Amino acid sequence: MLNALRRVSLTQWILISMAVGIFIGWAFPESAPPGEASYPELARNLKVISKLFLNLIKCIIVPILVGTLIIGIAGHSDDLKAVGRLAFKSFIYFEVVTTLALAIGLLAVNLTRPGVGVVLPPSAATGKDLAAKNQTTQEMIEHIAPKSFFESAANNDVLQVVVFTILFAIALTQVQGRPKETMLNFFEGLSEVMFKFTGLVMLCAPFGIGAAMAVTVGHSGLAVLKNLGLLVLTLYGALVVFCLVVLVPVALWARIPLLKFLRAVKEPALIAFSTTSSDAALPDALKRMTEFGVPKRIVSFVLPTGYSFNLDGSTLYLAIASVFVAQAAGVEMSLGQQLMMMLTLMLTTKGIAAVPRASLVILSGTLATFGLPLEGVAIILGVDELMDMARTTINLVGNCLASAVMARWEGELKTEDQNVTTL
């Protein structure tokens, strides 16, 4: 019996835990119609388990980012031109793919028109609160530079941590002799230890993910009503189209072995889907893509940077959600207005926090910019978790693919040497 359990892979345990979590959430809903029993205490208790797992993951993010980025920039190359070349290629790739995601989102929502027939509630304080948190363009620019590395680290502000770490690594390339060697040895050791730490934390993944699924299903239910159901289906359909017409052709063009790539990203994708947090999947994604054959210096730069600038799923979602609210409000937006909205989203989606529901802040700001009712945010909140699962997964997969494409462009992809767990 014990030998049979040992042969079950982590991926299989995660899938089993997801199925169990879905059943628990369905059998013990957080709220129920009048006359039927509800179990809010169960949902709250299970949420503790998922929060513990997510907290363990979050404590890994900063040290593993700092360690891998510094080694990637300062340890593997003293040639700043190579780093600049990689950054230039990465940002061009990010902008092209993100623009295509926005275009597919706008096309999908205009074809299905899920917002037509929706009756907006008279008020939505939640939406207003979210809008109040939205940053202006000036504030977003100011936010790039950290006031304190330790404050950024404590808040898990990935963008600020990445900026500080890149500058630190560039400075380290200018140092020679023993001080440089000492620092490189320290950060290389930190990186190796944190990858082992990640392996230990991943042993808890089935419990944390199962609990997260139970809470999600218990809160939202299995059924989605009418227009909201169509909204969810529109997003999922658009994401599938995005994968088929953008990501797959890009992978084929860059000669990325698709099956091997899917094996490499399957576990991080499951974590991203079930936790709705790209940050939660980041440590495992870094490890898996390194095993896939992407050099550490590339994956440690592209993945964290992509988390701020290449959120394909989130940008596609925002295009759909914005037009959905316009349709629900009875506002017919012209093609020019929608293109202007797309341009706005291209700018405001940079630096979205890789945490659950962060996109709602950007959505609220976009609605306010175009004079659309914030009440629409309250409508979307009911099914946002279902959509967050899908868009977060595509964010992760898209960035993993970006790291492989950059490695291929640099002539450093070594997929033949990979050692990835089989399906």
Distance of alpha carbon 327 from alpha carbon 317, whole angstroms = 15
Higher pLDDT, 335 or 238: 238
Q: Give the chain's domains with CATH numbers.
A: 9-417 (1.10.3860.10)
What letter represents residue 340's amino acid?
M
Task: Output the average pLDDT for the chain.
Answer: 77
Confidence of residue 341 (pLDDT cuts 50, 70, 90): confident
* pLDDT for the residue 123: 42
Mean pLDDT across 204-220: 75
Higher pLDDT, 303 or 246: 246
What letter represents residue 93's amino acid?
Y
Whole-prediction pTM value? 0.67
Higher pLDDT, 31 or 229: 229
pLDDT in tens, 113-145: 887 766 554 444 344 444 444 455 576 677 778
